[in-house]
Chain A
Amino acid sequence: MTSLQKTKRVSWVSIILWVLRVAVITLVIYGSSVTLSSGKYAPSSWISLLIAGLAQGSIYALIALGYSLVYGIMLMINFAHGEVYMAGAFVSFFVADALEQSGFLQAQPLVTIFILLLSAMATSTLVALILERVAYRKLQNAPRMISLITAIGASFFLQYTFRGFFGSGFKAYPEFGTMWGRWTFGSVTIQIVQVVVAMAAILMMGGLYWFVEKTKTGKSMRAVSEDKEIASLMGIDVNRVIVITFMLGGMLAGAAGVFRGLYQPQGIGYNMGFLPGLKAFSAAVLGGIGNIPGAMLGGLFLGIFESIGPNLILQGLGIVGANQLKDAIAIVMLVLVLIFRPQGILGEKLAEEKA
């Protein structure tokens, strides 16, 4: 009996998964084809949406990097990272407000942005470090569930602390006159601020990538993320690496806060970090959590998809008020990624026990 008899039994779980796959793909294709064939939007509007999505996506990417860095090192989901971002945005708002009132902002917009970035990054870094020291330091070897619940607690604690300090009303960033101009190429109009934000964010991510890949500290970070115990045996101060990781995450999140204020001045408030945090986490998972280029790609992809998706797919499916469901897209995507490719787009690196 040499012939290999391969009788594959198919469990109903995998049948359901296949049905789900087919359904998702069909819906996406059907929806977009209906929209595209209806010709409701000109190609130029798609390009505008794309650029807007890129700007939004680069903000997500900056936050997602914080999730991914911490996850890579500590294997925990720092649920409070959205609040780190909120802290930066919030404090830089007060700085911007003061600078506007003194007239400095109008005189020196570029210097102002630089000051804002510094203040936001400093604040976010501070919050991230306090978080690490007070809440997470003790939990380095605790079960994941315990650290996750702590992080959730920290998230709400921070939200309501800021609400207590600064009030529950929403604030609006001052407007930077030049930034709100538009460039027009033929029929395509692009907001300058979107391009600036996207460029600056991508520059920062490049800087981070260089830091992690080329510097000595970056090397020890990678070593710790490979194996904490062995790294510490090799003489790497694990606690120091963790602190640096939180610092980096905090800085990026702070910068994201400023970019958010520039790009979308309205709605700076104590709970502004919750949804972006959730979405950025989805982006990190989408790219492959623990993977730096993955988080960047995931963030950008999510931003673009959020901007185009509702108009392209949901409208085509005949759903009323498709843009209201924009916020749900990230979560649906997170679920789909976790079902079909839990290691993410670029997540080959992580072994089974990690992902």
Chain B
Amino acid sequence: MSGAPAERRGRGRIAWGAAVLRGYVRIGFVRKSQFRWEFLNQVLMDVCFYVSFVLTFDILYGLGADGARLTLAGWDHASMRVYLGFAFVADALAMTFLGQQWHFGADLKNGHLDPFRVKPGPTAFLYFFQRFSPEGLTNLVIASSWLAYALWAMGPGGPSGAQWFLLPVALTVVAFSQVFLTMAYNAVELWVLNSDLGHIASMLLSNLGERPLEVYPRTLTRVLLFVAPVGALAWYPSSLLLGRIDLAMAAGYPLVLVAFAWAVSRIFRRGLRNYESAMG
């Protein structure tokens, strides 16, 4: 096979993916224009989520008597705000592009994966990205604003040049990891149908990842970094920007994530053999 056709096909595939994603975004806006209350409610819902998190940590850090400075395994209040910023951005990204994941278990049970199995293109891509959420996008703006505020509040003059350089890298890592973590959670359901195991795994691991990983026992921390790498969603990007990790970890960790993505893709495709659709 010559390189040129392969390259053309590669570009064609990316262009196709972008066009389908654009289509999903468009119908996301069309759908939401019909449910305006739901738009408002979902924005409010995520704001509630953010506020409850921020308030919880404000209360916890405020418990120190007479101005004693409390930390969470070395994370002070200011760096915790950055950590939360990445956690919010990761959550908003999932809500914006990957909202269909919450229906995967039911869709498997009811045979709703059928139409995606006969359409051209990767089943996982067509299925998981189908529910673009404009309110998620609104929340992404809110979450990003919080992240920007947290970075600015770290010190006078705002983020340094290095931090500006690393920010897009960190956000790319967050987005990439979120997609494959979503696939990983849901792949579980292909083996244990009707279990909600994917759902609970998602909630469990996302929740664990929303707190600094150093608060957990060392074994659990390693699991969250290398086996089910939710550490990529908030811990790695905030540690990278705040200079809390060494160069080897900073450069090597994305390779771990690429290996994870490859493994998840294989597992998901293998799991599709277990899909039995539904009678009738």
A and B: interacting chains = no
